[in-house]
Copies of this chain bind each other. A is one copy, B any other.
Amino acid sequence: MKSIEIDRNKRLKDEPRKGHNRWHPDVTPVLEVDPGEEVVLETRDASDSQVKPHMTVDDMGGLDTKVAHPLTGPVYVKGAQPGDLLEIEYLDIVAQPRGWTRFRPGSGFLRDIFTEPYLVHWEMSDGWATSPQLPGVRIPDGSFMGTAGIAPSHAQMEEWTRREADLVARGGTAVPPDPEDAVPSGGAIANEGLRTIPPRENCGNVDIKQLTKGSKLFIPVNVDGALYSAGDGHFAQGDGECCITAIEMGATASVRFQLHKGEAQRLGMKMPRFSHSGYFLPPQWAAPRNFIATMGMPIRDDGTQEGEDLTLAARNALINMIDLLQERGWTREQAYIICSVAVDLRISNVVDLPNVTVSAFLPEDIFQG
């Protein structure tokens, strides 16, 4: 089985041939695989292993701040070309034994209220996370990759950089390219590469908690080989991830790719979709069984980037779901009705500025055999 193994005692910058932390089409692939092959990716946590089990909140001041998100990859998928739809099946996601959750001044959904930093450590064993800072709480395993996506094209990278700069110019919040802490360091990738904080059309940091073992993620391919990377493992998270971190951990993801040739172009798909048969989702962990879902972010049809606007994100997730239903042969009006009576709108993240994300979940079981 092919794999990318990392040394978890090292930082990403010490193993730059195993990963990267900026989205850019020119990152060198670590591995080539065929569709249908199983691939195992070992990944680092969102802090690039800087948060250690016995750190206090005061220790956090000296950490490198622009390391997020250390990603393992990219993986070059043979045969993938722009216009294809890449399917990523999550065969397994295995947690490392330690995790943490924190919030910091200036980020998180309630950043005006929570102005002092705070840090919680977790131990994971036997399927539960527990924390000495939260006595009596135990959180069941719902491991997923907070950040996973594929390379943008050069044109996309330029357009997305532009629209986010435009938002900043209008007073909004976004995260421009920045070579500090970039891996690979120096050069075009560090200088031009998109920061991974916001999710975008290439997926990335969507923080969708339903992307657990057993799920399938579908992303329109932008460059030859697709260039899939993953990192930012979450042991568990609420829909929304309100303080901007989940139970953050290193993880090992087993994935398998399939190519749907020309499908993204044929459908005019711009945003990722995902599905889950429900097999490995425990019912306590609360997702509709056997669904397919669309995503929405606060980007207008004319390409304008808006900030922290869940209403626009919900609108876009819903329009994407109506499109999906139309692809299956329903009229727009029927699709709108089906959405109103059966499709759930859930807030996937409310913190990855500017692209807070709403997902629309269609339960497949409403369609008769």
A interface residues (Cβ-Cβ under 8 A, vs B): 38, 91-92, 101, 103, 107-110, 113-114, 116, 118, 120, 125-127, 133-134, 136-140, 159, 163-164, 166-167, 172-175, 197-200, 205-210, 213-214, 236-247, 254, 267-268, 271-297, 299, 303-311, 314-316, 318-320, 322-324, 327, 330, 332-334, 336-359, 361, 363, 365-368
Nearest-neighbor residue (CB-CB) of A351 within chain B: B244
Bound CA span A297–B163, Å: 13
Hey, which chain B residues are within 8 Å of A357, CB to CB? 199, 206-208
Nearest-neighbor residue (CB-CB) of A131 within chain B: B337
Nearest-neighbor residue (CB-CB) of A133 within chain B: B334
A358-B347 in contact (CB<8A): yes
B247-A271 in contact (CB<8A): no
B91-A305 in contact (CB<8A): no
A173-B353 in contact (CB<8A): yes
Instruction: Pick the 4 closest A-B CB pairs, nearest first.
Output: A287-B287, A310-B310, A286-B288, A240-B345
Given contacts A113-B319, A134-B337, A274-B295, 8 further A-B contacts (CB under 8 A): A38-B125, A107-B351, A110-B319, A114-B332, A205-B352, A206-B352, A207-B348, A277-B290
Would you give the shortest CB distance from A207 to chain B, in whole angstroms? 4
